[in-house]
Amino acid sequence: MCMKNIWLAVLLLACSLQPKAQVTKATLTPGGITCSMCSKTIYEALKKMPVIESVKTNFKDESYAIVFKKDATIDFDDINKTIVEAGYYITRLKVAMQFNNVAIKNDAKVNTAGLELHFVNVQDQVLNGEKVVTLLDKHFETEKEFKKYAALPCMNNGVSSTCSTISGTKVYHVTL
């Protein structure tokens, strides 16, 4: 085996041992729905998103169960934009993520699944398996819920040198 192949094998092994997470599904609760046509409009808008594999409407609690395509890079702002362009808004977004050895602490950031997550109101722990995180940022919660966390330095726009560990990167505030 040549040295080049050995280094490639070492690199692949190192990458596979990195703490990782994968966004797998979400439950989205929209606001502004007044009729069944509203529900259909949101359903159709979500279905057109390239990162979404499937959408199911839950009429009982007026929410949408979203399954993301495997290995898709998820941008929560794109989901918000889709809902806003359809004429509605998000009142809650809970996201299921498959974690693999990801250590979290209260008021600390983690870069995983192509996202920078700022964990709020959590106990120090290592996440493994599927965990559901709730997005706390403006446009992903009701105004009342958002105000509970609005005092954090970067809650209003999520892009700040005080919040992001990578300058200019969008930070999503989450809790378990």
- Distance in angstroms (rounded) separating the CA atoms of residues 14 and 91: 40
Q: What confidence score (pLDDT) does residue 150 get?
A: 80
Q: What confidence score (pLDDT) does residue 81 get?
A: 97
Q: What confidence score (pLDDT) does residue 171 get?
A: 87
Q: What confidence score (pLDDT) does residue 100 get?
A: 93
36 lies in some domain: yes
Q: What confidence score (pLDDT) does residue 25 get?
A: 97
Average pLDDT of the chain?
84
67 lies in some domain: yes
CATH number at residue 86: 3.30.70.100
At 85-133, the pLDDT tens digits run 999 999 999 999 999 999 999 988 898 888 899 999 999 999 999 999 9
Q: What confidence score (pLDDT) does residue 21 get?
A: 64
- Distance in angstroms (rounded) separating the CA atoms of residues 117 and 149: 15
Whole-model pTM: value is 0.83
- Distance in angstroms (rounded) separating the CA atoms of residues 141 and 26: 14
88 lies in some domain: yes
Q: What confidence score (pLDDT) does residue 8 get?
A: 39
pLDDT classification of 165: cutoffs 50, 70, 90: low
Residues with Cβ < 8 Å from 87, sequence gap 6 or more? 32, 38, 41
Contact assessment for residue 99 and residue 21, using Cβ atoms and an 8 Å cutoff: yes
Is 14's pLDDT higher than 70?
Answer: no
10 lies in some domain: no
Rounded to the nearest 10°, the torsion over CA 160, 164, 166, 169 is -70
Give me the domain span that covers residue 95. Answer: 20-175
Domains of the chain: total:
1
Q: What confidence score (pLDDT) does residue 69 get?
A: 96
- For 78-116, letters b (16+ CB in 10 Å) and e give ebbebbeebebebbbbbbbbbbbebebeeeebbbbbebb
1 lies in some domain: no
Query: Which SS3 state, helix, strand or coil, does residue 50 take?
Result: coil
- For residues 62 and 3, the model is more confident at 62
6 lies in some domain: no
133 lies in some domain: yes
